[in-house]
Amino acid sequence: PGWQRRQDIPEKAAIKVAVVVDGSASTLAPIRRGSDESRWDVIKSSVHQVFKKLPYDRKGFAVFASRIIARSGVMTTDYERILKPELDDISEWFIADVGQKTHFAFALKGCYALLAVDDTEGVCIILSDGEQQGYDVAELEADLAASIKELKAGLYDKGLSTKVKFYIVPVGDPNEA
C-alpha cells in the first residue's frame, strides 16, 4: 500500500457577492446613544467579516448616498490584496464630505453594476441605517420604483432573474432612528 493522491476533492460552486453599503452622513452617527462606535464603523467591520468568510466567491462592493460614491474596481476572490485596501481607503472624512442624502435607487444600481458582469449566481447585500433622505420624497420614491423596474428588466435580459438574491440588513438602533 502506497500513498495515493485523492482526485475527488469536492468543489464548491463559487458565486458573486456584492455588498452595497450606505455611505450617507447619517451613518457617521453613533450606533447607539452614548457609543463611540459609529454606524459606519459597524458597516465597514461587517463587510470585512463577510468577505473574509467567503474565500472562494467573487466579491465586490459599492458605497451609495445621493449617487454611487465609491466602488471596488473588480469582482475578485482576493480580499486581502484588493478589496480590503479599497474599503479601508473610504474614511469618515470622505463620507462626511460626499455622503449627502440617502438615495436607495443607487443601492440597486450598485447591485446591478456588480452582479451583471456575467451569468453566474449572485447575492446582493445592502447595509443601511434605513433613512431615505433627500429634498423631494416623492421624487426619491419614483426614482426607487424606476430603479427596481430597470433592475428587474436588466437581470431578466442577462438571464439572471432567478439567479440573484437580495438582502437588506439594517444598521443601527431601531429605537433611535
Q: Do residues 18 and 111 touch, judged by C-beta distance below 8 A?
A: yes
Strands 122-128 and 164-170: what pairing?
A: parallel
Closest alpha carbon to 126 in 24, 57, 37, 55: 24
Cα–Cα dist 59/62, whole Å = 11
- The C-alpha atoms of residue 126 and residue 124 are separated, in whole angstroms, by 6
Examine the pLDDT at 1 and tell me if it is beyond 60.
Answer: no
36-82 per-position pLDDT tens digit? 999 999 999 999 999 999 999 999 999 998 888 888 878 999 999 99
pLDDT in tens, 8-42: 544 556 789 999 999 988 888 888 888 899 999 99
